[in-house]
C-alpha cells in the first residue's frame, strides 16, 4: 500500500507567517499553500500517511486524503510502499567573481575609461550597464571607440542605455552594436522617430533617460516581481541579489553601492580604489538578505522577491525598506 511520500529534490518548501510556498525549480514556478499543508508535507518527510491520519484523528481523514491527492496531482513527489532516499539540493551559493554587476556612467573627462575596464576585468566582473549622454555626434564616435575596450575581457554581457541627441542612421546603429561582441542590449532614449535598424538588440523610446529614471524611482513598490530559479533562491538566503557584489560608478568617478543611492565610498581615480569594495562598510548591503529585511522576512515568497528599493539599517542584523510598503 502506498503510504510513503517522497518529495522530489527540485521541490523546496518555505514557511511564512500567514502561508507557505512551494518552489518548483524544475518548472521555475512558485505556488502558495496554506500552513496546514506545509506542516503535513513536513510530516510526510519522516512519517507514513497512516501515522499522520492517526495523529490528526478520524474527523480530519477526508481532508487529509484531499491533501494527499492534491500533492500527487501537483507532482511534487511520488507515493510508494517504502520511503525512498533522495539527494537533496545543495542550497549553498558561490560565485568566484569579486564583482558581479557594475552600473557605469560613461565619461570622457573625469576618469580613464580603458584603465577602468582593465580594473573591472581584474575583479572578474560579469555584467556592465553603461549609461551615456551622447548629445552630439562627436561624443557618439568617441563612445564607439571606447566600447572596443570591452573586448578580450571576462565580462559576459554589456547593456547600453544611451541618450541620443541626433538622428541615427542604420550604419551608426550597426557600428554601435558591432563595437563589441559583449553588447547584449541597447536602449536608445530621446528619439522622436523609430530608428532604421533590423538589429534585434536595439530598442528605443522618445522619453529621455532622466525622465525614465525619475519615473521609476518615484513609482510605488514592485508588485508581482518574482524570480524563481535555484541560483536566485540560494543567493537570496545569504545575500541581497540586487546589491550583492554590485558597484555604481558616476560620471565623475564616484563609487557607490548603486547609482540611485546617495552614499559615496571613494573615487575610481584613487589608485587603490579596488580596496574599497573589500571593506565591511561597502559590503553592508550585500548581506541584506530577505531574512534580514523586516518588511519581507515573514513572507513565504521572500526568496523569489527582487528587492531593488533603498534599504535602511535599523540594527546590526536587520534592515527595512525606505519605501512605505512592499506589496506581493
Residues 138 and 50 in one domain: no
- Position 20 scores a pLDDT of 98
Rounded CA separation 240/124 (Å): 19
- Position 216 scores a pLDDT of 59
The residue from 219, 239, 255 where one domain ends is: 219
- Position 325 scores a pLDDT of 53
In eight-state DSSP terms, residue 293 is B
Rounded CA separation 313/292 (Å): 10
Q: What backbone phi and psi angles, to 5 degrees, belong to 10?
A: -80, 0
**For residue 147, is it within any domain?**
yes
- Position 326 scores a pLDDT of 54
Give me the number of domains the chain comprises: 2
Residues 146 and 198 in one domain: yes
Residues 122 and 199 in one domain: yes
- Position 222 scores a pLDDT of 41
In eight-state DSSP terms, residue 111 is S
| Proportion of the chain above pLDDT 70, given as a percent | 94
Taking alpha carbons only, the member of 124, 80, 136 closest to residue 274 is 124
Strands 4-7 and 202-205: unpaired
| Range(s) of the domain holding residue 139 | 101-219
- Position 223 scores a pLDDT of 44
Where helices occur in the chain by DSSP H, the ranges are 35-44, 49-56, 61-73, 113-122, 137-147, 170-177, 209-218, 230-238
Structural contact between residues 208 and 189, judged by C-beta atoms closer than 8 angstroms: yes
Structural contact between residues 281 and 134, judged by C-beta atoms closer than 8 angstroms: no
**For residue 154, is it within any domain?**
yes
- Position 185 scores a pLDDT of 95
Strands 101-105 and 127-134: parallel
Half-sphere exposure of 265 (CA within 13 A, CB side): 23
Strands 157-164 and 183-189: parallel
Cell of 230: 535555484
Cα 219–241–121 angle (5° rounding)?
Answer: 110
- Position 85 scores a pLDDT of 86
**For residue 109, is it within any domain?**
yes
**For residue 298, is it within any domain?**
no
Residues 117 and 203 in one domain: yes
Residues 159 and 190 in one domain: yes
* Ordered DSSP codes for 77-97: EEEESSPPP-PPP--------
- Position 292 scores a pLDDT of 97
The residue from 180, 196, 219 where one domain ends is: 219
**For residue 34, is it within any domain?**
yes
Burial level of 186, CB count in 10 A (0-12/13-18/19+)? buried
- Position 87 scores a pLDDT of 85
- Position 57 scores a pLDDT of 83
The residue from 171, 188, 219 where one domain ends is: 219
Burial level of 121, CB count in 10 A (0-12/13-18/19+)? middle
Give pLDDT < 70 ranges for the chain: 1-2, 214-224, 323-328
- Position 221 scores a pLDDT of 41
Q: Model pTM?
A: 0.88
Rounded CA separation 126/272 (Å): 21
- Position 112 scores a pLDDT of 97
Amino acid at each position: 500500500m502506498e503510504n510513503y511520500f517522497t518529495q522530489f529534490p527540485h521541490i523546496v518548501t518555505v514557511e511564512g507567517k500567514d502561508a507557505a510556498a512551494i518552489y518548483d525549480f524544475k518548472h521555475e514556478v512558485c505556488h502558495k499553500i496554506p500552513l496546514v499543508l506545509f506542516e503535513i508535507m513536513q510530516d510526510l518527510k519522516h512519517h507514513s500517511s497512516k501515522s499522520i491520519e492517526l495523529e490528526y484523528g478520524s474527523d480530519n481523514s477526508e481532508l487529509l486524503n484531499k491533501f494527499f491527492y492534491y500533492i500527487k496531482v501537483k507532482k511534487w513527489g511520488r507515493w510508494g510502499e517504502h520511503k525512498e532516499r533522495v539527494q537533496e539540493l545543495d542550497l549553498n551559493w558561490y560565485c568566484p567573481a569579486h564583482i558581479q554587476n557594475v552600473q557605469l556612467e560613461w565619461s570622457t573627462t573625469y576618469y580613464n575609461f580603458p584603465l577602468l575596464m582593465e580594473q573591472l576585468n581584474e575583479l572578474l566582473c560579469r555584467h556592465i550597464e553603461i549609461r551615456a549622454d551622447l548629445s552630439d555626434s562627436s561624443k557618439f564616435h568617441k563612445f564607439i571607440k571606447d566600447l572596443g575596450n570591452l573586448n578580450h575581457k571576462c565580462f559576459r554581457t554589456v547593456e547600453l542605455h544611451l541618450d541620443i541627441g541626433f538622428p541615427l542612421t542604420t550604419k551608426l546603429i550597426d557600428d554601435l552594436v558591432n563595437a563589441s561582441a559583449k553588447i547584449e542590449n541597447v536602449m536608445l532614449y530621446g528619439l522622436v522617430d523609430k530608428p532604421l535598424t533590423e538589429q534585434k538588440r536595439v530598442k528605443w523610446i522618445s522619453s529621455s533617460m532622466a525622465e525614465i529614471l525619475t519615473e521609476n524611482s518615484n513609482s510605488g513598490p514592485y508588485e508581482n516581481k518574482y524570480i524563481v530559479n535555484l541560483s536566485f533562491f540560494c543567493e537570496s538566503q545569504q545575500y541581497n541579489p540586487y546589491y550583492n557584489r554590485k558597484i555604481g560608478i558616476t560620471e565623475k568617478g564616484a563609487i557607490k553601492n548603486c547609482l540611485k543611492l546617495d552614499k559615496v565610498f571613494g573615487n575610481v581615480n584613487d589608485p587603490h580604489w579596488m580596496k574599497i569594495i573589500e571593506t565591511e562598510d561597502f559590503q553592508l548591503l550585500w548581506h541584506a538578505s530577505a531574512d534580514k529585511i523586516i518588511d519581507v522576512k515573514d513572507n513565504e515568497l521572500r526568496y523569489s522577491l527582487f528587492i531593488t528599493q533603498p534599504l535602511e539599517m535599523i540594527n546590526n542584523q536587520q534592515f527595512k525598506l525606505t519605501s512605505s510598503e512592499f506589496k506581493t
